[in-house]
């Protein structure tokens, strides 16, 4: 089983009626709702206002993939928690999937190493293009699909060059965006995915749901094989002569 935690700041849904109308139980509940249909996933919810900001050590240490949605309260996330998240990803024990405004979240910035800045604008039509059809995260996704309404996110997006760029977005106003980007960091994997503004219904879109589901499987650590390099190597390798013998 892949143990998934869907972490949500969970503030907009409590304070804005327009958001509450779309995500009455929080957008994380909708994400859990579609992931719960997967037989290989065990999904729990966490929120910023929960004890230990939703991620006490015993929860974090049991998480295979952490999905992250934050926006208005990035600064409130505890720096010690952010360091623990980064460490767990670098050690290959946990995958990290920041969504939408998670581009500015502390854990995403700390893991990838840049500020994640981008430009944004009014809600509008978006076309998501699949740039790597053979990628595991693009399984079951057509060459492009329409998102009826999403917040404009635009390049330049200040991320390191992605290791794999799986999706690119076009917006009605003519902007483009690296919308689905994979990063390998240490022994772990990160997938940033752009849709998911709190006043839009993108988390109900079946293709968005499929991409997030695929991303969870892709980002899950390979427990069978990972080994954490942790210092000086004492085992002598073969010499060239021994290899040739
Ligand atoms: Zn937004």
CA of 14 to the centre of ligand 1 (A): 16
CA of 68 to the centre of ligand 1 (A): 13
Please determine, for residue 187, whether its predicted confidence score (pLDDT) is greater than 60. yes
Question: Which residues lie near ion ligand 1 (Cβ < 5 Å)?
Answer: 101, 151, 197
CA of 153 to the centre of ligand 1 (A): 8
CA of 125 to the centre of ligand 1 (A): 14
Q: Specify the pLDDT at position 131.
A: 98
Please determine, for residue 39, whether its predicted confidence score (pLDDT) is greater than 60. yes
CA of 225 to the centre of ligand 1 (A): 37
Q: Which of 211, 198, 231 is nearest to 19 (CA)?
A: 198
For residue 221, what are the contacts with CB-CB under 8 A and spacing of at least 6?
64, 92, 93, 94, 95, 187, 188
Give burial (CB, 10 Å; 0-12/13-18/19+) of 136.
Answer: middle
CA of 219 to the centre of ligand 1 (A): 23
Q: Specify the pLDDT at position 234.
A: 64
CA of 75 to the centre of ligand 1 (A): 16
The region that residue 70 occupies, defined by phi over 0 for left and psi between -120 and 50 for alpha, beta otherwise, is beta
CA of 138 to the centre of ligand 1 (A): 23
What is the C-alpha separation between 86 and 213, in angstroms, rounded? 22
Higher per-residue pLDDT: 239 or 194: 194
Give me the residue label for tokens 């974090």: 60
Instruction: Read off the DSSP letter of residue 64.
Output: S
Higher per-residue pLDDT: 223 or 126: 126
The structure tokens listed for 165 are 């760029």
Q: Which pLDDT band, with edges at 50, 70 and 90, does 225 fall under?
A: low
CA of 72 to the centre of ligand 1 (A): 10
CA of 186 to the centre of ligand 1 (A): 29
pLDDT, the chain, mean: 95
What is the C-alpha separation between 179 and 238, in angstroms, rounded? 45
CA of 91 to the centre of ligand 1 (A): 30
Q: What is the pTM of this model?
A: 0.93
Q: Which pLDDT band, with edges at 50, 70 and 90, does 229 fall under?
A: low
Q: Specify the pLDDT at position 241.
A: 84
CA of 152 to the centre of ligand 1 (A): 8
């Amino acid at each position: 089983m892949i143990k998934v935690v869907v972490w949500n700041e969970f503030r907009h849904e409590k304070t804005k009626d327009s958001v509450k109308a779309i995500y009455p139980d929080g957008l994380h509940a909708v994400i859990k709702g579609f992931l719960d249909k997967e037989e290989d996933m065990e999904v729990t919810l966490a929120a910023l206002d929960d004890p230990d900001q939703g991620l006490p050590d015993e929860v974090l240490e049991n998480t295979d993939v952490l999905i992250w949605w934050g926006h208005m309260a990035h600064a409130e996330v505890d720096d010690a928690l952010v360091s623990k998240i980064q460490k767990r990803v670098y050690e290959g024990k946990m995958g990290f999937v920041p969504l939408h405004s998670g581009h500015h979240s502390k854990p995403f910035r700390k893991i990838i190493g840049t500020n994640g800045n981008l430009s944004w604008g009014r809600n509008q039509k978006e076309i998501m293009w699949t740039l790597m059809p053979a990628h595991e995260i693009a399984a079951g996704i057509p060459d492009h699909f329409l998102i009826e309404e999403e917040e404009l996110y635009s390049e330049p997006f200040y991320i390191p060059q992605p290791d794999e760029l799986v999706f690119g977005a076009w917006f009605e106003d003519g902007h483009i965006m690296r919308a689905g980007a994979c990063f390998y960091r240490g022994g772990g994997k990160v997938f940033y995915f752009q849709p998911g503004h709190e006043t839009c219904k993108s988390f109900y879109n079946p293709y968005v749901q499929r991409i997030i589901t695929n991303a969870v499987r892709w980002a899950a650590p390979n427990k069978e094989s990972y080994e954490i390099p942790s210092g000086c190597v004492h085992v002598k390798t073969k010499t060239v002569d021994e290899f040739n013998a």
